[in-house]
């Protein structure tokens, strides 16, 4: 088991990590953390200029253009990584079709545009599958692993984001299928399911009252930050998690762990004891 300078198995020294959607939000936080723990990171993003800017701040990082709708672009990402670093140890599938405008269109099924549904699955599910398929032979060679970013919305029903949430549920099942199929070859596959996470994209997409409503159901005093999710990803990618595969690590501040209406109960009893 590889260990870091402090003798723990949480370090990522010598590992080469691809992070899709790595130029912003959770992806960027993960790139910074993994780089700090010794990994060589490949920041793959459709926003190439942002990826280049982040890579310039991280020792030995590589920025690569990625369009998850294009199979050739995904294959080129892996090929560029191998050409540059000679190996691949971790694939972090973090990119997804998500943003303020997309979120506004992604509501319930009755009002769903077929084009949005199809594009969501093309980017999130098909793109993730192709990335995994392309990376797997190289991860098998290195004894590497895959960490997929999913969502707590894949585990709970909601009145919004039917396309996004169901696509993430598909990735959860893909995670289990890959763990079952490839674990015997030394390749682990896990997923991290964030709750509402305070990224710039989320601030743009969700009005403050809705964010406050979710914060009221959180068991911590505040919503999670991108760095909180990065810690979960880095743990699953590290040798400290070598006996963990096929799992979904929910990182939502405890939102999914309690009965409905917790915030209302909290307010009621707070008033009673005031």
Residues involved in catalysis: 164
Positive or negative: CA dihedral 20, 252, 247, 118: negative
The residues, any chain, with a CB within 8 Å of residue 36's CB and separated by 6 or more, are none
Count the residues in the chain. 274
Distance CA 102, CA 188 (A): 32
- Comparing C-alpha atoms, which of 79, 71, 121, 81 is closest to residue 97? 121
Distance CA 62, CA 178 (A): 27
| Exposure of 160 in the CB half-sphere (CA atoms within 13 A) | 10
Supply the DSSP symbol for 257. G
Distance CA 215, CA 255 (A): 9
Please report where in the chains the tokens 């009673």 appear, as a residue: 272
* Helix, strand or coil, per DSSP, at residue 25: helix
């Amino acid at each position: 088991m590889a260990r870091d300078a402090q003798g723990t198995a949480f370090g990522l020294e010598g590992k080469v990590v691809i992070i899709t959607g790595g130029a912003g939000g959770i992806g960027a936080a993960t790139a910074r953390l993994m780089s700090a723990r010794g990994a060589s990171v490949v920041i793959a993003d459709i926003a190439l200029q942002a990826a280049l800017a982040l890579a310039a701040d991280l020792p030995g990082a590589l920025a690569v253009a990625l369009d998850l709708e294009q199979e050739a672009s995904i294959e080129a990402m892996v090929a560029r990584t191998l050409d540059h670093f000679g190996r691949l140890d971790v694939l972090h599938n973090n990119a997804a079709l998500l943003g303020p405008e997309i979120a506004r269109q992604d509501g319930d099924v009755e009002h769903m545009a077929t084009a949005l549904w199809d594009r969501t699955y093309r980017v999130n599910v098909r793109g993730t599958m192709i990335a995994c398929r392309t990376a797997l032979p190289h991860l098998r060679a290195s004894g590497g692993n895959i960490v997929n970013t999913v969502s707590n919305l894949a585990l709970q029903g909601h009145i919004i984001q039917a396309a996004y949430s169901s696509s993430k549920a598909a990735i959860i099942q893909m995670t289990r299928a890959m763990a079952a199929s490839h674990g015997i070859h030394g390749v682990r596959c896990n997923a991290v399911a964030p709750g509402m996470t305070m990224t710039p994209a989320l601030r743009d997409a969700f009005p403050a009252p809705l964010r406050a409503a979710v914060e009221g159901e959180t068991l911590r005093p505040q919503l999670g930050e991108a760095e909180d999710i990065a810690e979960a990803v880095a743990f699953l990618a590290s040798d400290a998690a070598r006996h963990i595969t096929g799992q979904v690590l929910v990182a939502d501040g405890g939102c999914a762990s309690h009965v409905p209406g917790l915030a209302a109960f909290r307010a009621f009893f707070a008033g009673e004891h005031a």
